[in-house]
Structure 1
């Protein structure tokens, strides 16, 4: 969740600013609308992408990695030259709802308009009203870093025809109000599918299995499947486990780390309990998944398994337990852990290499963290211990190979 706002746009309209619609202008001065906009902006985690470490919130200044090159993130403060100061609400609405910039240019789809199109107009007004109250920051963007032919904006016409359909969220009358609220947050404002779904060669999302998990492009993290039903990535989780993770960064089933830690720290910890429970209600309704094929699970040798078990016993068991159950509220379990069981093994591998750092939240301001082992363990050692963890206790997923560890060890950290 964490890569949602890849967006490149012209900073100034060729025709200049126009008067705002009177009804919208009145709403934008309403303190309640502005307060709701702040809440919705937090729910959309806009600050994570539209800010740079040490910089002013929402002022842009960073470049996001994509498989096609780097895309600078724009300034969305009301600066008239480099931000949204010359934008009317209709410009903002068109960007969210149709993925078109202020000059009529198609926006690069790394900006999550494929999800934000579901946001209601009323909520979009509130978000825009809040953004217009921010202190204006003069922050020009860096040059676009996409390679040819991806830097040819006209090619987006074909991409949009294949992968994008605009339309606000339509409530399902067969479902409860809470379920619909959760679906709206997950599908639209929270744009969870932008990370938790597989993408094809052209960066399009596979819509056949919504929220079924996928590797985050160019970052080498895997956003797990979010189904709580049989064979789903969160099978065995309860609705309260979901709420706890999103609110505190930690639950009885696991801990948020990597990109998800950023989402919790800057977004979901601030959501109301009602909204978090609504999101959990929706996730509980996701369908069961097909079981993984077990034929490839026997490729790890006894020597690798023994080596991994020895490393685990020396460096991991003291916290996570010989039974892989961890310590509730302190150290997460590894048996049945969604980050351990994801298909390609990248999350567990990078946690061993880089450490596991849960977010600091209001409900859990001093979380326990896992130290990095990149300096202590060789590539072969990391492959062995991660393979052991992925095949110990009730875990039955594919091993990690030494060549995978080499790849993940040298992945840039965004």
Structure 2
């Protein structure tokens, strides 16, 4: 395509977005709300249910700064467009949501528009939270109104032009936002629908497990297809591809253990997913976690199946170096044949997270180590020490390559340049 043609196409796309935004603004669907279910004093059981649902939504993880007061905001959220800062959602009248009504709160969750009529940036997962029912929204609101108020002003976002122009969000919403509460699939069981509701809505799993475009959005048909988490240098694997983290071959118990305890005989969670288990999933009921597992296991497989063994692709010298590094540093915990000693020490042989096309997570684990979260069902997890200070880039690449291709694994080789690029990454 010629440069003038590309320019014309870009102008056409911009005009379409503007036109769609104008129509959206005229329609103002966020002003059409169901009436509140809150009338007078709120019962303790509603507040308790709201606390549980807030846990399911992992609200505390984003709205609490490191060493800060719970729900008081000001946590930095790095994005490709600049730093954003989470808001104070304690019931302080001046700096929090103390003057918000249940209607205001539901409108924010359901439509992505705050009490002042401002469009929210999609770092707030309103594209998922729109699926939350009015009753659940009101319960979360009741809980947040019961927590101690914290007087802490909200910090302005630090976004580059033109991303600091909220009006442009009308175009984003035209492309990526579909407003509406979750509608049960009558062809599926109540358990499946409960899992779908939690994962698609409050769990907002697609925020990480779906690749985002240059505009920071994702298409519905690409949901759960996997992608790099912006600015975190972790890869959230596809939940549908057996080449990555597709769970169709897993037992329900293994999925439940991974989500709720943080470790199962098939593997353990690290990085951003460890935070999700620590702050959220470990507190959910066995019934709800099982429902999530049932839904995840049912996701239709997409993309590649598991790859054939790839050891023949690796130079003999690299394999030998990787074998020696593995024998000296890894075999004690993961076994000579990579079978591990689960759930404490996960297997590497046949481990889909090791074989993925993207080697980012495997390299980061070798360099930085990691720990599964301490949870109610796994209070004293084992961890992996970092090796960045012991191994040079060639050794990191060789051992990562070795575990990705040994024992019949279907990964691909890793280069020293790839190891070096991740060596300076700050552990999140």
**Same fold per superposition (TM over 0.5):** yes
C-alpha RMSD over aligned residues: 2.1
1:328 and 1:22, CA in 2 relative to 1: closer, same or farther beyond 3 A? closer
Match of 2:205 in 1: 192
**Cα distance in 2, alignment partners of residues 28 and 243 from structure 1:** 37
Partner of 1:393: 407
2:202 equivalent to 1:171 = no
Point out where structure 2 has 5 or more consecutive residues left out of the alignment: 1-33
- Residues 1:296 and 1:402: Cα distance change in structure 2 (over 3 Å): farther
Counterpart position of 1:213: 226
- In 1, are the aligned partners of 2:243 and 2:307 still within 8 Å (CA)? no
Partner of 1:315: 329
Deviations 1:276-300 (A, max 9, x none): 1100110111112222696996654
Aligned residues: 394
Displacement of 1:108 after TM fit?
0.4
Contact 1:254 1:338 in 2 (8 A): no
> How far apart are the structure 2 equivalents of 1:243 and 1:294?
26
For the residues of structure 1 that align with 2:150 and 2:116, how far apart are their CA atoms? 21
| Structure 1 residue 82: Cα displacement | 1.3
Could you tell me which residue of structure 2 aligns to residue 357 of structure 1? Answer: 371
Deviation at 1:57, TM superposition (A): 1.1
2:319 corresponds to which of 305, 310, 316:
305
User: Of residues 161, 172, 177 in structure 2, which corresponds to 1:148?
Assistant: 161
What pairs up with 1:233-382 in 2 under 5 angstroms?
233-291=246-304, 300-382=314-396
Distance of 1:335 and 1:101 partners within structure 2: 49
Select which of 58, 66, 78 maps to 1:65.
Answer: 78
What's the CA shift for 1:203?
1.1
1:22: how far off?
Answer: 9.8
Q: 1:78 & 1:324 partners in 2: Cα distance?
A: 51
1:29 aligns with 2:39: no
Q: Deviations over 1:81-126 (max 9, x none)?
A: 1111111111111111111122111110111001010000110000
Partner of 1:106: 119
- CA–CA separation in structure 2 for the residues paired with 1:375 and 1:231: 29
> Does 2:53 correspond to 1:54?
no
Q: CA deviation at 1:412?
A: 3.0
Q: Is the 8 Å Cα contact of residues 233 and 342 (structure 1) preserved in structure 2?
A: no
Deviation at 1:239, TM superposition (A): 0.9
Counterpart for residue 17 of structure 1: none
Match of 2:77, SS state, is strand
TM-aligned CA deviation for residue 411 of structure 1: 2.1
Distance 1:312 1:213 in 2: 29
**Cα drift, residue 267 of structure 1:** 0.5
- 1:296–1:398 CA contact under 8 A, matched in 2: no
In 1, distance between residues paired with 2:304 and 2:291? Answer: 27
Please give the secondary structure, in 1, of the residue aligned with 2:117. Answer: coil
1:92 aligns with 2:93: no
Distance 1:81 1:152 in 2: 25
Separation of aligned partners in 2, 1:353 and 1:206: 33
The structural deviation recorded for 1:61 is 2.3
| Bigger share in helix | 2
CA distance in 2, matches of 1:49, 1:81: 20
Change (3 A) 1:116 1:22: closer
Query: C-alpha distance in 1, partners of 2:245/2:393?
Result: 30
Shift in CA distance, 182/194, structure 1 to aligned 2, threshold 3 Å: same
Larger radius of gyration: 2
The 1:240/1:391 distance shift into structure 2, 3 A limit, reads same
SS of equivalent to 2:83? strand
1:26 deviates by 2.6
Tell me how far apart the structure 2 counterparts of residues 235 and 356 of structure 1 sit (CA, whole Å): 26
Greater Cα shift, 195-204 or 179-188: 195-204
TM-score (norm 1): 0.90
CA distance in 1, matches of 2:104, 2:68: 26
Whether the 8 Å CA contact 1:228–1:236 is kept in 2: the answer is: no
